[in-house]
């Protein structure tokens, strides 16, 4: 198995994290990995806000939803912000900047895994006050917040999260998500 596939296969969205500091040069290697992601016409629509200042970190964590209680020890957060006009404008209405930002985040996550770190993207935060805390202009969307930390003890986690930490990695069978030559999926509708 190649090293890159090994990092992809071992990457997990773990929650058992430590407050051990992440050296700035290590954080910068994660940001460089994100920055090297491909994007439409090389537009690089991601705007990454790395948060490691203790006061700003504490203020940003105040905007996490309760389900992300586990992220409180994290010594580094990375906010991923963008706007549609920073990337290719697709006439049929696709928001292509979201795809580019996703590619950048995956690069960051693979680099973190390779370095023995956890990089766990979350959507569970109050966007408007987080944007105000970070000085993000109204016209930008904070697409995701990446929790970055060293692995830590699982004792602070809920019973459910402890079980997820130590259980096998669960993936749908490949045939559930891959078809050849024609769409033949029978996905149920997700209720809102």
Q: What is the pLDDT of residue 1?
A: 58
At which residue do the structure tokens 């537009």 appear?
A: 43
Give 112's pLDDT tier (boundaries 50, 70, 90).
very high
Question: Domain holding 135: CATH number?
Answer: 3.40.109.10
Give 192's pLDDT tier (boundaries 50, 70, 90).
low
pTM recorded for the entire structure: 0.91
Domain count, the chain: 1
Residue 40 belongs to a domain: yes
Concatenate the DSSP letters of all residues of 31-69 into one string. Answer: HHHHHTS--GGG----EEEEE-SHHHHHHHHTTB-GGGG
DSSP state of 94: -
Residue 36 belongs to a domain: yes
Q: What is the pLDDT of residue 89?
A: 87
Task: Reply yes or no on whether the pLDDT at 183 is more than 60.
Answer: yes
Q: Which structural domain range is residue 131 located in? A: 3-154
Residue 142 belongs to a domain: yes
pLDDT tens digit sequence for 82-105: 999 999 988 898 899 999 999 999
């Amino acid at each position: 198995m190649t090293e890159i596939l090994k990092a992809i296969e071992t990457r997990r969205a773990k929650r058992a994290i430590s407050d051990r500091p992440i050296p700035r040069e290590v954080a910068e290697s994660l940001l460089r990995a994100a920055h090297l992601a491909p994007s439409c016409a090389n537009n690089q629509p991601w705007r990454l806000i790395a948060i490691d200042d203790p006061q700003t970190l504490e203020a940003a964590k105040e905007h996490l939803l309760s389900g992300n209680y586990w992220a409180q020890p994290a010594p580094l957060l990375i906010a991923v912000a963008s706007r549609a006009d920073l990337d290719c404008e697709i006439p049929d209405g696709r928001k292509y900047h979201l795809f580019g930002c996703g590619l950048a985040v995956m690069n960051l996550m693979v680099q973190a895994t390779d370095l023995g770190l956890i990089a766990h993207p979350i959507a569970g935060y109050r966007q408007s006050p987080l944007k105000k805390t970070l000085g993000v202009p109204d016209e930008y969307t904070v697409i995701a917040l990446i929790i970055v930390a060293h692995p830590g003890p699982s004792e602070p986690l809920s019973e459910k999260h402890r079980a997820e930490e130590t259980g096998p990695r669960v993936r749908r069978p490949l045939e559930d998500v891959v078809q050849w030559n024609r769409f033949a999926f029978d996905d149920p509708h997700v209720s809102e």
